[in-house]
Amino acid sequence: MTSIQIKPRLASFDASQSNLNGVSPVLKRVLAARGVTAPNDLDLGLKHLLPPQGLSHIGEAAELLADAVIAGANVVIVGDFDADGATSSALAIRCLRAFGLDNVSYLVPNRFEYGYGLSPEIVGVAAMRQPDVIITVDNGISSVDGVHAAQALGMSVLITDHHLPGEAIPSADVIVNPNLPEDRFASKNLAGVGVIFYVMLALRAQLRRLDWFAQNGMQEPNMSQFLDLVALGTVADVVPLDRNNRILVQQGMQRIRQGLACPGINALLTVGNRNPLRLASADLGFAVGPRLNAAGRLDDMSVGIECLLCDDNDEALALALQLDNLNKERKQVEQSMQQDALAIVESLQLDSDTMPSIYALYDESWHQGVVGLVASRIKERTNRPVLALAPGGDEWKGSARSVEGLHVRDLLARVDALHPQLISKFGGHAMAAGLSVKTEKLQKLIAALNEVADEMTRGHDWDQVLWTDGVLPASAFTEELADELRQCVPWGQGFPEPIFDGQFEVMEARTVGATHAKLVLRPVDGQQAIDAICFGYLEAHDELPSGVIQAAFKLDINEYRDRLNLQLMIQHIE
């Protein structure tokens, strides 16, 4: 669909100036390209975590919740239907119960009935439980009407969220969100689970000040026990891994590697065929996160939350298997929708000499819960922003994914400003957003999106570049280096996992799983035969690679029947 150039990234700092000791030259080079050259930069201990006091209104949130805990109030957590929302909900409940509050429950809107966030309709459902306090996690910053409805019924509302606020801010009792205009918190990249973790840190401190734990003969909870959930939600939500987020993820991953994760996370790793002792951040992003997300996409996220709340290993495994089956179903639905979407893209290209600034794709048969994944896949194939929409009653629900150079939430805000009442609801981030639009306004929305996207991307260079960490010498293709790269730091959004490039001779090539290319490669300057796999290669190519190829790849260790061997994960072949 689009051409890709392989380019080595230029180090922000000279790797020779790196002061890192006990680190291989290759890893020094990789880290220097990400601005890490001093030993302190690699110290991801909890002592370096930004203090909670930096978040605006967090003290007020702690006071509100401390009053609720002491009074034995009825608290309802209103979550979101993705992995960040599920981990946020589970963390809030586990913490409040550990602090001595028994009367706490959760409610996650079914996306097909109520849509996203604290809507007036979901407040009506919550009201049947007669809560004193509603806490939103990973949502709420756009729930103006829902907050008003809850307060009108006498409920206090605490919003914890990380999404960008719109022009109207809800009149909640307290809002904790690092992206509020007046907030000065040094990390704007917290996931929803990171925000609620900080709120719970502040609540514990407040209860300690009130001598709550001592007076009730309770052991003060160690908050590090909840970091497995924070790590999972942060990685799964693909927020930028700035240093503060890397600390949260690294500490959570260490607990999982030490066998200290909650049974639900261990069970999800088991069904995903991942070894907790050798956990990498990619395992959370590609094995655990999708299985958890599948519940919210196809069914009800309560299955995922129950898995994370479960303390019995056998029950957790049963729930994880249920999530695994949902994920298999999700894959089938997504594959069919992706084929439909690619056909639409190809037909649009036939009708025009140029690719549009944004692809707006829709189909009557598409599934609301999977449009975000389809948008992401088509974005990867075309290197263009994509909005995919599916019908839901008298509305279409859309999910957008963007590329560098176009802030997709700003795009929707611009459309909304130029055409008031066109978009029913919208929200999101720079790279991902969601919206709903009335059926009769769909075509007008698509026209407006194209017009504004053309305006916002005028002069934009659409060439796709795959940045790599350069060439590896033949002697560097070792399991030791692959393991060092895997274990060193959490890699992810904004702190990309190392990708290298080089020339190889294709010694063997065969097809596995219909579209994947399983290869044996030899570096042109070496003698070593190395296993490699390129997922989905035959989706874009007619035949398997042969001869000498230029490839971009990640070093990986394949674990099969307790045997470990080096494997290259091919990202692109020229």
Q: Where are the alpha helices (DSSP H) in 99-174?
A: 120-127, 144-152
What are the C-alpha distances in Å from 197 to residues 202, 213, 229, 262? 9, 19, 9, 16
pLDDT at 355: 84
pLDDT at 15 over 60: no
The predicted pLDDT at position 388 comes to: 97
Residue 11 confidence (pLDDT) above 60: no
Contact 538/515 with Cβ under 8 angstroms? Answer: yes
**Could you tell me which of 48, 497, 9, 486 has the C-alpha nearest to residue 243?**
48
Are 476 and 26 spatial neighbours (Cβ–Cβ below 8 Å)?
yes
For the chain, how big is the Rg over CA atoms in Å?
Answer: 24
Size of the chain in residues: 574
In the numeric block, the tokens 């693909």 are attached to: 238
Whether the predicted pLDDT of 67 surpasses 80: yes
Helix residue ranges, H only, 274-397: 281-283, 289-298, 302-309, 313-350, 371-382
- 144: exposed, middle or buried (C-beta count within 10 Å: 0-12, 13-18, 19+)? middle
Least Cα distance to 268 among 333, 192, 325 occurs for: 325
pLDDT at 16 over 80: no
Residue 38: its pLDDT value, please? 86
Confidence label for 100 from pLDDT (cuts 50, 70 and 90): very high
Could you read off the pLDDT of 281-303 as tens digits, one per residue?
999 999 999 999 999 888 889 99
For 83, left (φ over 0), alpha (ψ -120 to 50), or beta? alpha
Q: Give mean pLDDT, residues 21-37.
A: 88
In this prediction, residue 353 carries a pLDDT of: 63
Q: How confident is the model at residue 19 (pLDDT cuts 50, 70, 90)?
A: confident
**C-alpha distances out from residue 421 to 145, 164, 531, 549, Å:** 16, 20, 55, 53
Which domains can be identified in the chain, with CATH numbers?
A: 4-9+465-573 (2.40.50.460), 51-325 (3.90.1640.30), 352-462 (3.10.310.30)
| Structural contact between residues 199 and 137, judged by C-beta atoms closer than 8 angstroms | no
pLDDT, average across residues 180-200: 96
Q: What is the pLDDT of residue 416?
A: 95
pLDDT at residue number 6: 84
Query: Which residues have C-beta within 8 Å of that of residue 318, sequence separation ≥ 6?
Result: none
Residues 6+ apart with CB under 8 A from 403: 379, 383, 384, 385, 431
Whether the per-residue pLDDT at 349 is higher than 90: the answer is: no
pLDDT tens by residue, 524-538: 998 999 999 999 899
Percent residues over pLDDT 90 in the chain: 78
User: What pLDDT sits at residue 17?
Assistant: 66
pLDDT above 80 for 562: no
Angle at 266 between CA 261 and CA 269, to 5 degrees: 130
Nearest partner of 439 among 490, 398, 387, judged by Cα: 398
Closest CA to 128 of 158, 105, 98, 145: 105
Supply the pLDDT for residue 37: 85
Q: Residue 300: what pLDDT? A: 81
Mean pLDDT of 27-43: 89
At 431 the pLDDT is 87
Q: Which residues contact 350 (CB under 8 A, 6 or more apart)?
A: none
Q: Is the pLDDT of residue 362 over 60?
A: yes
What does the pLDDT read at residue 22?
81
**HSE on the CB side for 55, CA within 13 Å?**
31
Task: Give per-residue pLDDT as tens, 373-414.
Answer: 999 999 988 899 999 999 988 999 999 999 988 999 999 999
Phi, psi for 398 (deg, rounded to 5): -120, 150
Mean predicted lDDT score pLDDT of the chain: 92
Q: Judge whether 147 and 159 are in contact, CB under 8 Å.
A: yes
Burial, 474: exposed, middle or buried (Cβ in 10 Å; 0-12, 13-18, 19+)? middle
3-state secondary structure of 507: strand
**Short-list 169, 160, 166, CA closest to 133:** 160
| 229 neighbors 91 (Cβ within 8 angstroms) | yes
The four Cα atoms 38, 41, 46, 51 give a dihedral, to 10 degrees, of: 110
The mean per-residue pLDDT over the stretch 445-454 comes to 95
Q: What is the pLDDT of residue 336?
A: 94
CB burial of 191-202 (b: ≥16 within 10 Å; e: otherwise) equals bbbbbbbbbbbb
pLDDT for residue 108 is more than 60: yes
- The answer to whether 126 and 150 are in contact (CB under 8 A) is yes
